[in-house]
Each structure stands twice: as structure tokens, then as C-alpha cells.
Amino acid sequence: MILVQREFQVDKAQRGAFERMSSRGLWPAMREMGMQMVAYGTWGFAGSGQVVVTHSVYADFDHWYATRRSLPGYSSGSKVGAFYEDPEILERFKHLMHTYAERESLVNYSEATPFLMDEELSRPKVHYRLANGPSSELPATFGRGSIVEQADFSYESKEIAETSKDLLATHIWPDLESQGARVIGLGTNALQGNETFSTFVAYPSFRELVEYGRSPRQDASDDVAQAWVQNTGLIQTVKRRLLIIGTDYGETN
């Protein structure tokens, strides 16, 4: 599974149209190809206000390539744009194509960063769509104005990173989810090493992140509190940033 984080430079005057073309056209069409768009918005606080950002999840790189439109330089039958060339799959979403036909004309520039997601620790359900198979599920969301925290961790070794993953999965994340947070997943930036990883966790608002997303709650169990302390001691560096969600696309919970 991969999560593709793509930053788009879109003029502020065009962002409403960009979101509408995406949420009413492209993202539903992509569901028919088996992927999920799990977060869209702008970087908050210390982040850049010059871009909008999507977080799209695919089964693998072939799946990602197949969802992209064929481009000049790619030969017929190549993996790029395979869903648009499959008449049975195309039939499922061609009625949506007019909705997002002009979307790319609104983009001044875009750049993608792929993350290799740990499938055991990540929540999206995606698959390479076959003609007789289902679309992907509508992704969960807290809606416009909610947040997703991306935390980029580094460790002294791969072994220490694995210990940290275990603490997150067995103690810290279940406690966050019991309070109302939603874990999206954990993955490694494809351009970095195995002694690093990034986590993506959604919160209804900034208030919840402050209340229970940065440190153990006062009434947390001893096991959870100890897991927080132990995990903090393992981390070499951490960089955090917040995505302010700018769409109501998805299944609200």
C-alpha cells in the first residue's frame, strides 16, 4: 500500500472550483478504480499557505500509475492510464469525467511524495479494481475544519523504530482512538531509510490534539502512560505539521 501526498499550487481564487471538481468528480471516479482520497486541505500554522494537499492511497505503484491519465511519451498498453483504457472500468466512471475535465488547468504546479505504508498498521482499504470487483469504500472524515497531524520520526536504528511502532500499535493508538481520534496509518517516505517513519492521525479539531494527542491523559492507564514515556525516549527527532481539512468529502463520523 502506498500513500501519495501531492501538493498543488492553485491560485486562491480557484481553490473553491478545484475542490468541487475534485470532490464531485475526480475522487468519486478514483473510488471506482479502487483507491481512497483520505485527506485534503492546507498546511496550518507553520505550514505554507501557497498550496493545497491531497493524501491518496493505492494498493501499490502499479495501481497509482493505472489511475493516471495517459500522457505524451507513454506507449499504448503501458501501465499509466490503464483504467482509462479498460472499457469495463471506464464505464463505471465516465459519467463523472466532465466534472473534473478542467481541473488540471487550475494547477500551476504539483509535486508528489509517496509513502510506503505498513498495511498491518494502516486503516485505508484499497485494491486494484477489476471489472467484476467493487469500488473502494467512501473514506471516513471529521469534515471541513478538522485536522490531520503528520509526525515524521527518526530513530538511531531500524530495530528501535520497530519497537516504537509496536508501542504505537498496541498502546498509544488504541487509547487515542478510544478518545475519538482516527488513525489513518504509518508509512516510510519512499526516499528515506528504514530508521524513519511518518504517522497520520486525524482529530475532530485542534482542541482534541492538544488534550490527548501529544501526551498521555491524566487518567490514562499505567500501561498507556508508560508506553508514552518509553516511546518518547526512543525518538531521535520528530517533526510535526498539521493539515487543516478543506472538504466535507467522505463519510462523516
Percent of the chain with pLDDT over 90: 84
Q: Is residue 221 part of a domain?
A: yes
Average pLDDT over residues 246-253: 91
Per residue in 195-229, pLDDT (tens digit) is 899 999 999 999 999 999 988 888 889 999 999 99
CA distance 19 to 155: 37
Does the pLDDT at position 77 exceed 60? no
Whether residue 77 sits in one domain with residue 159: no
Whether residue 167 sits in one domain with residue 130: no
Whether residue 86 sits in one domain with residue 157: no
CA distance 144 to 40: 9
Whether residue 14 sits in one domain with residue 136: yes
Burial 22-51 (b: 16+ CB within 10 A, else e): bbebbbbbbbbbbbbbbbbbbbbeebeeeb
At 191 the pLDDT is: 85
Kindly report the pTM of this predicted structure: 0.92
Q: Helix, strand, coil proportions of the chain in percent (round to 5)?
A: 35, 30, 35
For residues 194 and 77, the model is more confident at 194
At 194 the pLDDT is: 78
Does the pLDDT at position 78 exceed 70? no
At 73 the pLDDT is: 53
Amino acid code (one letter) for 137: E
Does the pLDDT at position 193 exceed 80? no
CATH classification at residue 228: 3.30.70.100
Average pLDDT over residues 138-143: 96
Per residue in 113-137, pLDDT (tens digit) is 999 999 999 999 999 999 889 999 9
Q: What is the mean pLDDT of the chain?
A: 92
Contact 20, 210 (CB under 8 A): no
Confidence band, pLDDT 50/70/90 cuts, at residue 76 = low
At 131 the pLDDT is: 87
How far, in whole angstroms, is CA 207 from its chain's centroid?
21
- Domain containing 20 equals 2-142
Among 142, 163, 181, residue at a domain's last position: 142
Among 116, 142, 168, residue at a domain's last position: 142
First to last CA, the chain: 24
Per residue in 19-30, pLDDT (tens digit) is 999 999 999 999
Into how many domains does the chain fold?
Answer: 2
Contact 232, 151 (CB under 8 A): no
Q: Is residue 96 part of a domain?
A: yes
Among 80, 107, 142, residue at a domain's last position: 142
Average pLDDT over residues 68-92: 76
Whether residue 75 sits in one domain with residue 161: no
At 80 the pLDDT is: 79
At 215 the pLDDT is: 87
